[in-house]
Each structure stands twice: as C-alpha cells, then as structure tokens.
Amino acid sequence: MRFLLTILVVIIFNILNVQSQIQYVNFQPFTNSKCTGTSQGIGYSIQLDTCTTYDKNNTYIFTSSTNQVKWAQYSVSNVVDPVCSGSAKTTQTVSIGKCIQNTNIAFDDSSFPVYKYYYKVSVSNQPLVNSNSYIKSFMYNVGSCNENEVTNLQYFSNATKAVENSTQKPSSYYCSGSNEPYTYYCSIWGCGPTYTAANCQQINSTSPTLINNNNYYSVFCN
C-alpha cells in the first residue's frame, strides 16, 4: 500500500512538473515539401499558452493538445500589452511532427515571407533556432532583461528576403562575415544596409513592437 502511494505521489509530481514546464512550438522553414536538407527561410519559435506578438497589429496564442498545436490570431492596434481575447480573426490547427505548407504561417506583418515555405512543426522545452541565423527575440511579461526568458523569436537564414505585409516593401536579412545582423532595403534615398544589432533591452516607442515596461527584445546573429 505504501509502495503504491509512493508511486502515485511520484506520478502526480511528474504530471505537475510537466505542466509547469515552459514549452515552445517551433516552425522550422524548408524549401521542399518533405522538410529535408538544410533548413532555410524564416522560422518561428513561440511559447505555448502565452499571448504574444511580433508586430503591433496581431497577437497570437498557441496551445497544444495530443499531437496538435492550435492557435488563434487576434487583430489589435498599437496595444500596450499583448491581448488575446474576444473573437479570433483566424484559428488554425497543425499536427506536431508534420511538414506543412501554409500561407497563413507568417506571424510578423513587418517581415512577411515572400516564398511559401514548408514548416516542420515541433514542440520543445527550449526555443528551436537554426544556427547562422539573424534572430529577433522578444521577452514579454518578465521583470528584467533575460535572454533565457524568451517569449517568442523569429529567425532568418542569411540573405532571406521578406516584405512588409501592408506595403509589400521588401527587405532582406543578413549576418555579416563578422556576424553582425543587418537588413538591406531600398527607399527613395537609395538602397543600402542598416546595422540592427540590439542587446537585450527594453522596448520603447522607437522599437519594432509593443510599448510596455515589461517587454524586452534583442537582435543578434548566432
């Protein structure tokens, strides 16, 4: 009896432990429909059960159930905190472990993929990031700047092109030979690189996304 009780306690403890573990859903980009070979393109890694955003226009919340990840997208405008309530603009369900193609898989309006990548969907305890990538990382709802408390991140393989969804204005994401992140885009002033490295820092009104005392971001090449 005592033995059984011990086992029961161990099982309950494990269940609690698993539930309190932070998990991420990963969308790893590929250019072929089998998701094989070198991963290339724009990838995402996002904390489950947390309202997140990459731009000021859309928030997302991802949840997982057996073998599936479901998400809901909400329209917002210049909010101070990410809010995921009310009626969702879109919802979608994908299978974990599958290689999927979907034009709706683009979570950042400021850097929309120009190609329809295939994504390998996985769930992990740490964000999944390709090496040799340009990385934009966000840390929401944390009390201090801590790279280990990533809420959501986005990564681009070298020389990946993207467009701003609303204007279709293109830009490309690079890591220099010395691993400095830069974007390359053209304006009426001409075309050129802009170096964009940012150590973990608080988001403010000139930053790419939300304005909140508890929001941080960083930009780097790994």
Which positions touch ligand NAG (CB under 6 A)? Answer: 55, 57-58, 106, 109-110, 132, 158-159, 164-166, 174-177, 201, 204, 206-207
Nearest-approach distance from CB 213 to ligand NAG, in angstroms: 12
If the CB atoms of residues 20 and 77 are measured against ligand NAG, the closer one turns out to be: 77
Question: Which residues partner with 123 through β-bridges?
Answer: 25
Nearest-approach distance from CB 29 to ligand NAG, in angstroms: 16
Q: Find, among 26, 4, 7, 25, the residue nearest to 15 by Cα.
A: 7
If the CB atoms of residues 65 and 178 are measured against ligand NAG, the closer one turns out to be: 178
Residue 182 · residue 176 · CB < 8 Å:
yes
Alpha-carbon distance of 157 to 149, in angstroms, equals: 23
If the CB atoms of residues 125 and 206 are measured against ligand NAG, the closer one turns out to be: 206
If the CB atoms of residues 64 and 207 are measured against ligand NAG, the closer one turns out to be: 207
Q: Find, among 43, 32, 61, the residue nearest to 173 by Cα.
A: 43
Nearest-approach distance from CB 150 to ligand NAG, in angstroms: 18
Percent helix / strand / coil, the chain, rounded to 5: 10, 45, 50
Alpha-carbon distance of 161 to 19, in angstroms, equals: 38
Query: C-alpha 41: how far from its chain's center?
Result: 13
If the CB atoms of residues 123 and 145 are measured against ligand NAG, the closer one turns out to be: 145
DSSP state of 134: E
Nearest-approach distance from CB 3 to ligand NAG, in angstroms: 54
Nearest-approach distance from CB 55 to ligand NAG, in angstroms: 4
